[in-house]
Amino acid sequence: MRIVFAGTPDFAVPCLRAAAQRGEVVAVYTQPDRPAGRGRELTPSPVKREALLRGIEVVQPENFRTALSKQALRALQPDLMVVVAYGLILPQSVLDIPTYGCWNVHASLLPRWRGAAPIQRAIEAGDARTGVCLMQMEKGLDTGPVLLSQAIDIHDNDTGGQLHDRLAELGASVLADGLGLLRAGIRPVPQPQPEEGVTYAHKLDKAEAKLDWSQPAHALANRVRAFNPWPMAEAVVAGERLRLHGAIALDEAHAAAPGTLLRATREGLDVACGEGVLRVRVLQRDGGKAITAADYLNGRPDLRTP
């Protein structure tokens, strides 16, 4: 087969490796290099770096609006285009170019969590299960029929970063299964998504990182997990702005105002919420690194509960 791969972030790299195992990837499409770091130097995407290591041609169009960009894709004579977190909307005129159309690897059990941030939204919502779908792409946002899928449990202590890594590997496995079927002359049967159960995983916004202590502790604990490593939850505790790397919810009744520091021990900083208590166990001060609550209290002995 002649496969064109389109992807940009770390999540897409295992899928690129799976697609390229037999030397069938003839080109990789990825987002243009973007400024990054303190020096704001142009930095290639993780997918571009992987493609260059493998000696695969890299193409970086701003979009597919021009006839020239579509002509360049058509000239590659692709049998299949595999799209994983590419970051560009593909028009129908592009979806129609490959012989078998375009496949997308999506990190949720569709139709739940269509959209940009399915991994974090699943944790934030307290979902017990998630997974990966291999989908035949169509014009709508993650609306295409599902070809293959696989589910996994979301562990109680999973962060957004940990679940991201597990789903990236699972996505590569599901993609490999689909490619294996296609090579054998078996096209996976498309299953239309049900109309019930549709939810949208809206893009993460840094403004969401600021926790509201009037919310229930369980909801805040989920957000701390979901937003690690980005955008990282933050809150004011005892007058100091902290970034929260790890926290758990305690089902504890209290009469304190939300945001009140109830206790500060080696086990954590216990903060009153609208319902229950949030125990902050790993945190970061401005300009510092992530530390345990015990280490934090070494520098803030005034907060320590007798």
- Tell whether 190 and 293 lie within a shared domain: no
15: burial class by Cβ within 10 Å (0-12, 13-18, 19+)? buried
Is the predicted pLDDT of residue 281 greater than 90, yes or no?
Answer: yes
Given 201, 228, 261, the domain boundary residue is: 201
Which pLDDT score, from 0 to 100, does residue 164 have?
98
Residue 51 three-state SS: helix
Whether residues 20 and 90 share a domain: the answer is: yes
Pair (75, 187) in one structural domain: yes
Do 180 and 252 reside in the same domain of the chain? no
Q: Is 108 annotated as ligand-binding? A: yes
Percent of the chain with pLDDT over 70: 100
Cα dihedral across residues 269, 275, 276, 278: positive or negative: negative
Q: What is the CA radius of gyration of the chain?
A: 22
Q: Is residue 132 domain-shared with residue 232, that is, in the same domain?
A: no
Parent domain of 8: 3-201
Same domain, 222 and 188: no
Domain boundary among 179, 201, 223: 201
CA pair distance 274, 286, nearest whole angstrom: 26
For residue 232, the 8-state DSSP code is: -
121 and 211 belong to one structural domain: no
Task: Determine the pLDDT at residue 285.
Answer: 97
Mean pLDDT, the chain, rounded, equals: 96
Omega into 231 within 30° of 0, i.e. cis? yes
- 110 annotated to bind ligand: yes
- Same-domain check for residues 31 and 173: yes
Q: In this predicted structure, what is the pLDDT of residue 1?
A: 95
pLDDT attached to residue 40: 86
Predicted local distance difference test score (pLDDT) of residue 301: 95
Per-residue pLDDT tens digits for 156-205: 999 999 999 999 999 999 999 999 999 999 999 999 999 999 999 999 99
Residue 262: left if φ>0, alpha if ψ -120 to 50, beta else—which one? alpha
CA distances from 232 to 80, 204, 209, 219 (A): 37, 11, 6, 15
Here the CATH number for the domain that contains residue 254 is: 3.10.25.10
CATH number, domain with residue 98: 3.40.50.170
Residue 117 and residue 108: Cα distance in Å, rounded? 10
* Same-domain pairing of 18 and 77: yes
Q: For residues 276 and 166, state if they share a domain.
A: no
Tell me if 111 is assigned to a ligand binding site: yes
The percentage of the chain sitting over the pLDDT mark of 90, rounded to a whole number, equals: 95
Task: Provide the domain count of the chain.
Answer: 2
Out of 201, 216, 231, a domain closes at 201
What's the start-to-end Cα distance of the chain, in Å?
69
